[in-house]
């Protein structure tokens, strides 16, 4: 698996070759991220679990494209805001481990403030 820095470099190279950075501010990049996430959601909206399973089999490439689009914008925003995404994820997992201790949350979907 490629590491985050290599992926970010590839994304930034793609952006810079097209001189698109001038259009990228946190608001618009965040909007693009949300829009791509919504396009991913469309693949699953209104489908039963069986329909979702069938859809994944026939539309895996399209779903993959949408996930890649989401990741693209995450990498751009992380870079532009000077956020080390690997470190941020590790830190968030530590926070979540405190909020969702295994002893209270294993096998449950209860939100942390209700455990």
* pLDDT (tens digit per residue) in 31-59: 999 999 999 999 999 999 999 999 999 99
Average pLDDT over residues 1-17: 94
What is the pTM (predicted TM-score) of this model? 0.91
CA-based diameter of the chain, in Å? 51
* CA proximity to 40, closest of 62, 58, 18: 62
Instruction: Please state, in angstroms and as integers, the Cα–Cα distance from residue 113 to each residue in 93, 94, 101, 108, following that order.
Output: 17, 17, 12, 13
Q: Which CATH code is given to the segment(s) 4-83?
A: 1.10.287.1080
Which pLDDT value is given to residue 1?
62
Q: What is the pLDDT of residue 91?
A: 98
Token pair 């930034």 is found at 12
What is the mean predicted confidence (pLDDT) over 85-93? Answer: 97
pLDDT recorded at residue 112: 87
pLDDT at site 98: 96
Residue ranges of the domains in the chain? 4-83, 85-115
- Residue pLDDT, tens place only, 52-87: 999 999 999 999 999 999 999 999 999 999 999 999
**Residue the block writes with tokens 């209270």:** 104
């Amino acid at each position: 698996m490629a590491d985050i820095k290599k992926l970010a470099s590839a994304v930034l190279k793609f952006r810079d070759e097209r001189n698109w950075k001038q259009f990228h501010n946190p608001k618009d990049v965040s909007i693009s991220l949300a829009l791509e996430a919504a396009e991913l959601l469309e693949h699953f909206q209104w489908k039963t679990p069986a329909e979702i399973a069938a859809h994944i089999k026939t539309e895996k490439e399209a779903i993959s494209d949408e996930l890649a689009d989401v990741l693209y914008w995450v990498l751009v925003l992380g870079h532009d805001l000077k956020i080390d995404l690997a470190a941020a994820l590790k830190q968030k997992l530590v926070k979540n481990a405190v909020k969702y201790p295994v002893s209270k949350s294993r096998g449950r979907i209860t939100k942390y403030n209700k455990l």
